[in-house]
Amino acid sequence: MAASTVRKTELPKKFHQAVLKWRDAYMPDWGFMEANWKKYFPHQPEFQLCALNDCSVCPHIEVGVDKGKPKFTSACEMNKEQADHLLKAVKAQASTELGSIQQHRLTLARADDEQDQFWILRMMAEELRHGYQMFSVLLNDDWRSVTDTSGEDMVEEVLNMRTGSHVLGAFNIDFDSFLDNITFCAFIDRVGKFQLDMQKVSAYRPMSESMGPMLREEAFHLATGVGPLRRWAADFGEGKGTVSFDMMQRAINKWFPRALDMFGDERGGGRNVAFGFKHSKNGEAMMAYVEEVDQLVRDLNERFLRARFPDLDRDRAREILDKNESYEGVHHDDLLSLPDVKFFRRRGPHAFEMRDRDGGEIHDFESFRQHMMAVLPEPYPMGRDFMNYFTRMEKVANGTLTPVDAMREMPELSRVGGTCACSNAVRWVQPENGNGAANN
């Protein structure tokens, strides 16, 4: 992407200031990041909080029923259903960007490696820019055809969200350790990459223009996760370090199902394609994602094996993995693996089913409880997110709640009451569709 095609803009002053105020509340290390940027990224331009639009995008709609027509430049050019769908997606995107900063900040201090920590800081700054980007999409258009809420109030609504009130489930889960920061980057940001890539074709030009610069940054976020995972896998192979495969496996069990849920119901997504907003349906994108993380897990296993057995060449290591062979006392079960796609789901056809990690059905709730305790990271089931899921799962298991109602019932902590900036009122509310609207 030639630099000259990228337009840089700032939000009107009052919104820019509001984002800076949010930044000061949730990123107290911002000054440290600016002061040390050159030390860690000597060849990177200094970070700038701004909206970046790639003006070289295809001017015509690339998929869907309007394919070939000029891309929409404002919401009022679309039909109501399209505009409504788009608005929900933009708000959900903004929410996820800011939500991840709120998650990362609490365990950031627990990193044992200064560089890992600094990379997470940069990633958080870029997520803030992504939120800022979505605010620019919201504020540069008139959405009155689909909402009575002003742009100002929509921005305020997103700035007021907390962990627990974000649109998508993965952004409502507290991190328990720095392993969560890293696993989140490798697994959840990767979903972000898929979503951004799908929206590069967006029939709404401001959205399409936003994706290229965000995707470049997203690649760094994936590296922020993958780098430490590789190092930990090799260290564990050599018998060094403090992160075992058991710990990594449990973290994968925690995050992989949430990543799958982020694609939306795997039977859906057709409207997004028909409307011209994404190039793939949910299920297709999800399977491509699974293939990619499968490769990641395979790479980690290979690094582990070759670190443990320095004489093992790459081809032989790959053969062992391909054939699920045991080698010198290391068995297939000792290595990392992805859970089955039916495990621990809260959206889609397998939502609120009692499945074990291999996808097998569990028939009684007590066995399910014991299985979950055995495969999830130790502190996670004690948290609010898991308890919300678990209490509903129990009702589904004893027949007093349907899976569809359980999905709807997942409570969200939302700001209610007036739109006054000083209002911090929050209470538990039931969302209208219980599912978030970003990806359906």
What pairing do the DSSP bridges indicate for beta strands 6-9 and 426-429? unpaired
CB of 119 to Fe ion, least distance (A): 12
Binding segment (CB under 5 A) for Fe ion, from list 121-129, 227-235, 281-289, 303-311: 121-129
Enumerate residues 78-117 that contact Fe ion by CB under 5 A.
97
Nearer to Fe ion, 63 or 222 (CB): 222
What is the signed CA dihedral for 289, 130, 268, 357, rounded to 10 degrees? 40
Give the chain's end-to-end CA distance (angstroms, integer). 30
Could you tell me the two tokens for 272? 């997004």
Beta bridge partners of 243: none
Beta carbon nearer to Fe ion, 192 or 212: 192
Can you state the angle between helices 245-261 and 282-308, rounded to 10 degrees? 170
Single out the segment in contact with Fe ion by CB under 5 A; choices: 120-128, 137-145, 357-365, 382-390: 120-128
| Max CA separation in the chain (angstroms) | 67
| Cβ 15 vs Cβ 155: under 8 Å | yes
Binding piece for Fe ion, criterion CB under 5 A, among 124-132, 257-265, 307-315, 418-426: 124-132
Query: ∠ at Cα 214 (345, 281), nearest 5°?
Result: 40
Residue (82 or 95) nearer to Fe ion, CB:
95
Closest CB to Fe ion among residues 95, 282? 95
**H helices within 140-177, ranges in order?**
151-159
User: How near is the Cβ of 231 to Fe ion at its closest, in Å?
Assistant: 20
Pick the stretch among 181-189, 252-260, 286-294, 426-434 that binds Fe ion (CB under 5 A): 181-189
How many residues belong to the site for Fe ion (CB under 5 A)?
Answer: 7
Write the interaction track for Fe ion spanning residues 189-218; mark x where CB under 5 A is met and - where it is not.
Answer: x--x-------------------------x
For Fe ion, the closer CB: 196 or 251: 196
Cα(95)–Cα(109) distance, rounded to whole angstroms?
23
Element (H, E) at 52: strand 51-54
The rounded distance, in Å, linking the Cα atoms of 76 and 183 is 40
Site for Fe ion in 386-425 (CB under 5 A): none
What distance in Å separates the CA atoms of residue 86 and residue 278, rounded to the nearest whole number? 11
Site membership for Fe ion, residue 130 (CB under 5 A): yes
Options 91, 129, 221, 254; binder of Fe ion; rule CB under 5 A: 221
Give me the least distance between CB of 131 and Fe ion, in Å please.
Answer: 8
Distance CA 409, CA 32 (A): 41
Q: How far is the CB of 256 from Fe ion (least distance, A)?
A: 17
Closest approach of Fe ion to the CB of residue 315, in Å? 34
Pick the closer one to Fe ion by CB: 54 or 189: 189
Torsion of CA 369, 375, 379, 383, to 10 degrees: -50
Question: Strand 426-429 to strand 412-415: parallel, antiparallel, or no bridges (unpaired)?
Answer: antiparallel
Among 127, 141, 209, 265, binds Fe ion (CB under 5 A): 127
- Nearest distance from residue 139's CB to Fe ion, in Å? 18
Single-letter amino acid code for the residue at 172: N
Stretch that binds Fe ion, among 39-47, 81-89, 186-194, 299-307 (CB under 5 A): 186-194
Binding residues vs Fe ion (CB under 5 A): 97, 127, 130, 189, 192, 218, 221
